[in-house]
A and B are shown apart, each in its own frame.
Chain A
């Protein structure tokens, strides 16, 4: 099949193709910029300052959690519980036994 195109049409086609190419090139350039900026941001994210700041956040969060957790309270052991329960009645019983030893 033979298609006959006028020069005007050919020029129009060529110009449209050029426009399309230019748009693609502009997009490629913009894409390059987007990726470059992303890499820049990634470098910033991985910078020593940012990692240290993140680390401090984790440490702070842990400290808050720890103070609210039972981990430290578990040391409130049974010896301590016992010590807190000793009263005068028990001490009087022992004092009575000691009295016998001292004066007996």
Chain B
């Protein structure tokens, strides 16, 4: 190739190189522009989505919470309904003489006496169910005699209407201005209403927070030392508390951290549900974290499981030195401390 041809070739190549570079630079710039736009669009969209997502999340969680609350109310109502059914069945056994521990005629008489006393007149009209009314009719003189002897004065009973009740009587004065309900049905409702808080507690129908508060109150009340056997038969000594804290967060769950007067630290996990391996793992990990973060040694680990524990969990607790307290032991502990828990 001559020098002229080589010069021409060089000019051509240089031109091509420059042209190629211009195109390549432009392509790179185009790519950058598009990439930047995509990133910006993504940022803006994510920002807008996050506001919507937050709203959706809140709405879903609120709906879930509401649903859960409704479900809880339904289950509680169903439990109460079932309790009432069982109670009525037991009472029917008493009323019909199938439960030999009780003498219904004595109960019926005490209800009649209560009603007669409340009416406070010499002549009283008695209404009851067919069976009780027949009994009253056939023993009326005997009952009147006993009332006269128990209350004094001259008591005259008149048999009234048959009413649809489980047992007991409804008494009224002859003038009809005084009425007293001494029915078993009324008693059932009255007792269930009066004791509903206790029934709720005894069945563990309360929030986890309420349960934790109950345990904290129980531990605060300890004076000196209280000893109780845990569910595995080991002896647990609980001392009076100097300081009590709750450590419940995303990565930690110790419902009660109790610094006892002797300076020893007791960690307590409380659950209304069953003791499970998962819960135990979480408790042990939390205790490990507490010891590391605070630089302390937790000397007593207590797991309170209202609904009990499976055998393998209980065995593991023994291996890990964790005391297991279930409802029965909790009631015993409360008794020893002198607190009416259930």
Contact = CB atoms under 8 A, between A and B. Distances in A.
A97 B102 CA distance: 14
Main secondary structure of the interface of B (DSSP, over half): helix
A102 B79 CA distance: 19
B33 A35 contact: yes
Contact of B19 (A27, A59, A101): A27
Contact of A99 (B75, B79, B94, B271): B94
Interface in A1-53: 5, 9, 12-13, 16-17, 19-21, 23-24, 26-28, 30-32, 34-35, 37-39, 41-43, 45-46, 50-52
B83 A95 contact: yes
B8 A16 contact: yes
Given A45-B34, A79-B272, A81-B272, A51 B45 contact: yes
B163 interface: no
A45 B41 contact: yes
A72 B52 contact: no
A42 B188 contact: no
B90 A96 contact: yes
Contacts of B192: 98
Nearest to B208: A78
A89 B4 CA distance: 110
B68 interface: yes
A22 B79 CA distance: 92
B56 A63 contact: yes
B31 interface: yes
A68 interface: no
Task: State which size class the interface on A falls in.
Answer: 35 or more
Nearest to A72: B64
Interface string B54-84: 0011001100110010011001100100110
A32 to B, nearest CB: 7
Interface string B85-99: 011001100100000
A28 B15 CA distance: 12
B29 A38 contact: yes
B151 to A, nearest CB: 21
B234 interface: no
A58 B91 CA distance: 62
A5 B2 CA distance: 12
Contacts of B42: 54
A26 B87 CA distance: 98
Interface residues of B, number: 76
A55 B91 contact: no
A101 B48 CA distance: 62
Given A58-B46, A85-B274, A31 B90 contact: no
Contacts of A30: 22-23, 26
A99 B205 CA distance: 20
B56 A37 contact: no
A82 B79 contact: no
Contacts of B188: 98, 102
A34 B22 CA distance: 11
Given A85-B274, A103-B94, A46 B49 contact: no
A102 B191 contact: yes
B38 interface: yes
Given A42-B33, A99-B90, A50 B41 contact: yes
Given A34-B23, A86-B79, A102-B184, A55 B45 contact: yes
9 contacts: A16-B8, A42-B36, A55-B48, A55-B49, A75-B65, A79-B206, A81-B307, A82-B307, A98-B195
Given A66-B56, A82-B204, 16 more contacts: A13-B11, A23-B16, A24-B18, A27-B20, A38-B29, A42-B34, A46-B44, A58-B49, A66-B57, A79-B272, A81-B272, A86-B203, A91-B82, A91-B86, A95-B87, A98-B83
The 7 closest A-B pairs by CB, nearest first: A20-B15, A31-B26, A38-B30, A42-B37, A27-B19, A81-B273, A54-B45
